[in-house]
Amino acid sequence: MLYNSLTVTRRELVCFRLGMNATNWSIKDLSGKEVLVQLNYVWSGVEINANELEACLIVNLPPLSITKYKIERAMTSLASGSSRVKLYNFEHHISDKLIANVETPSEIELQTTNLKLIFSGADGMLRRVIQFDEGLKIKTHEVRTQLMAYGTKSAKNEQKSGAYLFMPGKFSSILAHHT
């Protein structure tokens, strides 16, 4: 049962967990029509949880309404599909249940209508910021990032660096560097 307390129609992604035999379940709306569901593996840290799957569906909720869906056992479920998983920079054992592509991309991109961020696939550092205006590229900013680690200053009767006090020592070491 899903409740929309707003005065506007909502389109929401709803996810819940089922046992591993989730392919023997079906989800139907009030008219009895089977709803398309995506089945995902449930992760516990870096391992797949062998006892459950996650079922996700998109629901349309009319304004100020209660919408019901029915979960029931079925011989087969025709309206479900497994998710595809792509793992980046993943160095752990992959479950035999999972068919996954493991790769290290040269770049990772995140984009909105006004902004595109390009990160290094090897170290995750920001490389470029591209600005858009009405879909046209207007400016590219090359980013050079360098993370440094400093020791703490230590002298007689002086307070060391702390949460609100930054007093770096004389020397630093480079943690990560990208030019």
pLDDT, mean of residues 84-96: 61
Question: Residue 118: pLDDT above 70?
Answer: yes
Residue type, 84: R
pLDDT of residue 153: 63
CATH of domain 2-103: 2.60.40.1180
Does residue 69 have a pLDDT over 80?
yes
pLDDT given at position 53: 80
User: Of 71-75, 132-136, 138-142, which gets the smallest average pLDDT?
Assistant: 71-75
Does residue 79 register a pLDDT over 80? no
When mean pLDDT is compared across 14-18, 41-45, 93-97, 111-115, the lowest value belongs to 93-97
Residue range 136-143: mean pLDDT, rounded? 91
Predicted local distance difference test score (pLDDT) of residue 47: 73
Specify the amino acid at residue 10. R
* Domain limits, the chain: 2-103, 107-143, 146-178
3-class DSSP assignment, residue 89: coil
Centre a 10 Å sphere on the Cβ of residue 50 and count the other Cβ atoms it contains.
Answer: 11
With 80 as the cut, is the pLDDT of residue 83 above it? no
pLDDT of residue 76: 62
Query: Which one is predicted more confidently, 91 or 133?
Result: 133
CA distance 56 to 36: 9
What is the per-residue pLDDT for 104? 72
- Closest alpha carbon to 128 in 139, 115, 141: 141
Of residues 131, 132, 104, 109, the one with CA closest to residue 119: 109
Cα 7 to Cα 11, 34, 59, 61, 153: the distances in Å are: 13, 27, 16, 10, 59
Mean pLDDT, to the nearest integer, of 148-167?
A: 64
Residue 52 is which amino acid? E
State the Cα–Cα distance between residues 41 and 121, nearest whole angstrom.
24
